[in-house]
Structure 1
Amino acid sequence: MWTRILARATRAVAVAGNYSLINQPISDPIFLKIPKSTFPQIFNNPRFLVTSNLDNELSPDSSVNGGDRQLAEEEEGGGGGDTYEVDSDTLESVLRLLQTSADGSLESCLDDMDLTLHQQLVTKITETPFVLSENLIRFFWWAWSERSLEVTTPMVESLVLAICGNDDVRKKKEVVYSLWDLVKEIGEKESGLLNVRILNELISSFSRLRKGKAALEVFDKFEAFHCVPDADTYYFTIEALCRRRAFDWACGVCQKMVDARTLPDAEKVGAILSWLCKGKKAKEAHGVYVVATEKGKLPPVNVVSFLVLKLCGEDETVKSALEILEDIPEEKRERAIKPFLAVVRALCRIKEVDKAKELLLKMIENGPPPGNAVFNFVVTAYSKAGEMGKAVEMMRLMESRGLRPDVYTYTVLASAYSNGGEMEEAQKILAEAKKKHVKLGPVMFHTLIRGYCKLEQFDEALKLLAEMKDYGVRPSVNEYDKLIQSLCLKALDWEMAEKLQEEMKESGLHLKGITRGLIRAVKEMEKEVVEAESITAVV
């Protein structure tokens, strides 16, 4: 009796906040079995300081001296009270058993102890720190199934929180699976006993263990257990599935979340969008984004930019990406050039060049300010479409904003003019490029040489080749090859072709074998024609 009174007095002082090493009385007898080195861990553990009916059984100014609190109450109330009291010796014995390593004799040892189980005793055991999780689950299962303990929602919740909150458990998937088997069994036999918090803790634990299928199994049991998923339910389930790259299943959960219109906070929405985009599910991510913005949960700008980039990857979702740009606040657009650039490029790719131009003009007005790359995408798209007037107009707009068209811009325009047979316009572009840039690449000259060859204006092509050398641009094998092939196939001028071949040798370039064979074939063919004509003349 004195041991129990002393233990209760210790807890009463602890609750009052008196932790002085001088005034602190002897602790609960259970601590006599725990090494002193673990005392700080126990005192700092929030589960140790859980208050219960026992904490207030004996107050400092109590008039009961030398008797049980329960006896005093019976004397005062005439024996009408029926208060349950946790026996500290029993509690100590059970905890000593559960704190040892797990073995197959645990249940038989519990049977031998002939315990009188009560919800308060089980809760006390569950809330005690440093109890092996495996043994805690086995004890709870034994108490419920073998001793027909009437479990309650707080009891199951306390068990789940105690085990799932243990850092060591996160490394032992078997423990969480065993806990889920117990909770599932309870949920199937005790209708309406489980709650959302219990199931969410299990899903979160499976997510940390990267067990997406198990997390989905818990999620699928919500309806059977009469629970309604909340925002955390959806978030933890999607997280678990995406960690296992089960993106198709994750999209199914996302659709349910969208239908229920139950979304987590903006940061978590951003995380979901990022996971889906990484899993090539940008279209599904856009559906989540739309509902999130409707509910005022706008994800971070970097996530929005990432979503836009992924939407631009598919032709059918480019217009969705264009709509999202409107949601980026003006004050944050200065640093959001990448998504705008991606949308302009994608619009040009799907041949929506006028919309790309519209977006470019909006960028000039509201930001972010477009650079050469944005203009070049539009210029290139108009050039490929043969709308040279609009292409040149965009180049002039670029110049009006203080940007200098680069060599690529001039090359695109010159190539488009050459392909259309407008060599005079192409020459004008070349002349302008020479004025603006000290050095031009071989591509600029190559595109014009090819245009002259198509028109069979070989003299102009040869002049351009010489001009190319004078300008300091070294002709490549492609320029020579294209010109030689045209001379052989269209002009049958193998002599000029051989001269160009000699120039190549002097420059250290080597003509392709098939082109060399073409020169020989044209040369031999001409000799055969001359011989045939001479024979005919003699006859």
Structure 2
Amino acid sequence: MWRSIAAKSRVVARNFCAIKTPNNRNKVYPSQSHISIWVSSQSSQNLRFLSYFSTNPNENDHSQSSSDDSSMISGEHNDNQFEGLSEQTSLPFSENGDAQMETFTSGDVNADSFVGEENVESEAYEIDVEKLDNVLSLLQSIVDESLESTLDSFSLVLHEEFVVKVLQTPLVLGENLIRFFKWAMKKQDLSVTTRVIDVLVSSICSRDLRRKNAYALWDLVREIGEKNEGLVSVGSLNQLIALLSKLGKGKAVLEVFHKSKDFGCVPDSETYYYTIEALCRRSFYDWAWIVCEKMLDQGPLPDSEKIGKIICWLCKGSKAKDAHTVYLLAKENNKCPPKPALYFLIGSLCRDDGTVKLALEMLNDFEGEAQKYAIKPFSSVIRGLCRIKDLDGAKQLLLKMIAEGPPPGNAVFNTIISGYCKGGDMKEAVEIMKLLESRGLKPDVYTYTVIISGYSNGGQMEEACYILSEAKKKHSKLSPVTYHALIRGYCKLEQFDKALELLAEMEKFGVQPNVDEYNKLIQSLCLKSLDWETAEKLFAEMKEKGLYLNSITRSLITAVKELEEEGLAKEVSIEA
């Protein structure tokens, strides 16, 4: 940060008083003018006076600038004292060439930006192109164990800019970059800085996805971080976590996350997000939730889109209730996840009987246009309420949908009708069907089948037949299940004649009897009325239609037939 501000300040200075010396064409020094700047301290809001440098303002002869170079390079006057100014800062000059004083408010300059000092000699450092080419040629080739010794032979005087230039050069193997960096760390003339570490990590993570180099990089960063607290930045750790996540190394990611505290790094939203992502990729959902809890307690939270992804990952790991906790905190911080994530969360909550009511509460967060198109989450909640037998709650939600939206379709009505039928409350089931019709919707075959099944289970065959007649009027083709429910009801009441009539009637409405209808009817004939003859006829009819009766039912027919024959034989012998 301070380098960027210093660079900007130098641009300002050069706009007014820069010259180039003949012997140092890449070095830029201020002219001999007196520039004074008022800078306010952000912490104390008190103005303090910083002098960029001071010479005799009347001596404006540029010919003397060369002679003054040595004093300026010595560090006696540091150009980093000029840090904090933006490029737009104006330094007005009077007619005689003197710089006028300008006052800045705390909004113009951040006093905290004045961190550290760097002398002119460092700023004027020039990279030896020939030596740089030698190093890059070495690193861009496949090198054996002689890399370090070859680097020693170059007699390099290492500087931060030189090392950064090497690390940023493309087409260098990641392994060689790490070896070069380790070699450079051992040199007395190089001071390892946060900037250099950031460049190394960024270079490796952007070009190398090999597990070996990822682990080597982590070992190097850990070594530096353990010895120099505060030197490793959280940005570098985030990139390293993201790299290990791509490689599917969830445990290594967790180690990096835990080590961040030892390095003096405070995890940010990216740290939490990439760590949770890596753990969920490896299905370590319990560990992911531990990290997620720390994020919720300490913050900060990622953006809304990433919050949505975290919620979906937890739901996939059967942690819908924990995902709901993340959702609540995100909502408090005005970071509402995207709609697909909310829909997925509601659907996941509805799969567990204990969290259906949480999903019901979430529906209150849908308003206006968002509610009108939220048919999927509303339908999920209604299914959940019906499953836990809260039919009154499901009905109330249905009425709310009719009044406010989203408009319910046949599927929603059928879910509630099925719930009432299974509970034996046929009166409510029929009322819901009438409500469906009042909405301009047409009861489908499933609607009629569910109600017929409910009546048949309760032995109310007359009402079931009435519903069947209504179904015939509105649908030219019915379902085999529709007739199966009626046949089962008649068999239960041992009214086999009516059951056989329905079996014959099915084909008239485009329904082919299947094995289930025949099987149920044959078993009932054999077990309840011992009518093996009718059972045999049905068996023969099945063969003609290409249907096959299971061996148990066939054996049942044979057993009943033999029983009856034995009984007749005994009667004949007694009479004789």
Q: TM-score, structure 2 length as denominator?
A: 0.74
- Corresponding residue for residue 70 of structure 2: 74
In structure 2, the CA distance between the partners of 1:512 and 1:202, relative to structure 1 (3 Å rule), is: closer
8 Å contact kept, 1:64–1:72: no
Aligned to 2:193: 152
| Residues 289 and 54 (structure 1), Cα distance of their counterparts in 2 relative to 1, 3 Å cut | farther
Q: Matches of 1:139 and 1:329 in 2, distance apart?
A: 59
Q: Distance in 2 between matches of 1:340 and 1:80?
A: 74
Q: 1:99, 1:130 within 8 Å by CA — same for their partners in 2?
A: no
Q: 1:113 to 1:463 in 2, by over 3 A?
A: closer
What's 1:476 paired with? 514
**Matched-pair contact (CA < 8 Å) for 2:452–2:468:** yes
Counterparts in 2 of 1:459 and 1:77: CA distance versus 1, 3 Å = closer
Which residue is equivalent to 2:149? 108
> Would the aligned equivalents of 1:91 and 1:125 in 2 still touch at CA under 8 Å?
no
Q: 1:352 aligns with which of 377, 384, 390?
A: 390
Match of 2:207 in 1: 168
Task: Tell me what 2:499 maps to.
Answer: 461
Aligned equivalents of 1:73 and 1:378: distance in 2? 90
Which deviates further from its counterpart, 520-529 or 318-327? 520-529
Matched with 1:315 is 353
Change in CA separation of 1:437 and 1:103 when aligned onto 2, cut-off 3 Å: same
3-state SS of paired residue (2:459):
coil
Residues 375 and 395 in structure 1, CA contact (< 8 A), matched pair in contact too? yes
Check whether the contact 1:74–1:80 (CA below 8 A) recurs between aligned residues: no
- Is residue 343–residue 377 contact of structure 2 (8 Å, CA) maintained in 1? yes
- Secondary structure at 1:227 match in 2: coil
1:440 aligned onto 2:481: no
CA-atom RMSD in angstroms: 3.5
- Judge conservation of contact 1:107–1:139 (CA < 8 Å) in 2: yes
**Structure 1 residues 181 and 535: CA distance shift in structure 2, 3 A:** closer
Instruction: Answer yes or no: is the 8 Å Cα contact 2:31–2:65 preserved in 1.
Output: no
Q: Equivalents in 2 of 1:194, 1:511: separation in Å? A: 75
Alpha-carbon distance in structure 2 between the residues aligned to 1:420 and 1:530: 38
Structure 1 residues 191 and 436: CA distance shift in structure 2, 3 A: same
SS in 2 for 1:194: coil
Deviates more, 1:429-438 or 1:147-156: 147-156
Partners of 2:457 and 2:489 within 8 A in 1: yes
Which of 134, 141, 157 is the aligned partner of 2:182? 141
Contact 1:363 1:369 in 2 (8 A): yes
| Paired residue secondary structure (2:121) | coil
Q: Deviations over 1:44-91 (max 9, x none)?
A: xxxxxxxxx9965368999989x997x742267999577435664656
How far is 1:161 from its partner?
A: 3.6
Separation in structure 1 between the aligned mates of residue 236 and residue 188 of structure 2, nearest angstrom? 23
Task: Give 2:70's aligned amino acid.
Answer: E
Higher mean displacement: 464-473 or 313-322: 464-473
Whole-Å separation in 2 of the counterparts to 1:502 and 1:176 = 73
Q: CA deviation at 1:204?
A: 2.6
Single out whichever of 454-463 and 429-438 deviates more from structure 2: 454-463
1:57 matches 2:39: no
Q: Deviations over 1:255-312 (max 9, x none)?
A: 2112224211111112222333334433332222221111111111112112222222
Matched ranges for 1:186-205 at <5 A: 186-205=224-243
- Residues 227-236 or 324-333, more deviating: 324-333
Task: Give the partner amino acid of 1:376.
Answer: N
Q: Of 325, 332, 335, which aligns to 1:294?
A: 332
Cα separation, 2, equivalents of 1:142 and 1:332: 60
Pairwise mapping of residues 330-409 of structure 1 onto structure 2 (< 5 A)?
Answer: 330-409=368-447
Q: 3-state DSSP class of the match of 1:298?
A: coil
Contact 2:451 2:467 in 1 (8 A): yes
- 1:492 paired residue among 530, 542, 548: 530
Distance of aligned partners of 1:128 and 1:505 in 2 relative to their CA distance in 1, 3 Å threshold: closer
Calculate percent identity across the aligned residue pairs: 55
Q: How far 1:424 moved relative to its partner?
A: 1.6
Counterpart Cα distance in 2 of 1:501 and 1:123: 88
1:111 and 1:535 map into 2 onto residues whose CA distance is 119
> Residue 33 of structure 1 aligns with which residue?
none
| Cα separation, partners in 2 of 1:270 and 1:175, compared to 1, 3 Å | same
TM-score by length of 1: 0.79
Q: Provide the secondary structure at the position in 1 that maps to 2:186.
A: helix
Q: Report the CA distance between 1:383 and its aligned residue.
A: 0.6
The amino acid across from 1:230 in the alignment is D
Change (3 A) 1:59 1:468: same
Matched AA of 1:484: I
What is the total number of aligned residue pairs between the two structures?
Answer: 486
Of 316, 319, 323, which aligns to 1:281? 319
Change (3 A) 1:223 1:490: same
Change (3 A) 1:265 1:536: same
Report the alpha carbon displacement of residue 462 of structure 1 after superposing the two structures with TM.
Answer: 3.1
- Per the alignment, in what secondary structure is the counterpart of residue 84 of structure 1? helix
User: Do the aligned partners of residues 399 and 54 (structure 1) sit closer, same or farther apart at CA in structure 2, a change above 3 Å counting?
Assistant: farther
**Conserved 8 A contact 2:305-2:338:** yes
Q: CA–CA distance in 2 between the matches of 1:78 and 1:377?
A: 85
Q: Residue 411 in 1 paired to residue 407 in 2?
A: no
Distance 2:130 2:61 in 1: 28
Q: Is the 8 A contact 1:99 1:131 kept in 2?
A: no
User: Any idea what the Cα deviations from partners look like across 1:386-416, whole Å, max 9, x if unmatched?
Assistant: 1111111111111111111111111111111
Q: In 2, Cα distance between the equivalents of 1:363 and 1:118?
A: 70
Distance apart, 1:211 and its partner CA: 3.1
CA distance in 2: counterparts of 1:291 and 1:305, whole angstroms = 17
**Bigger Cα displacement from structure 2, 299-308 vs 101-110:** 101-110
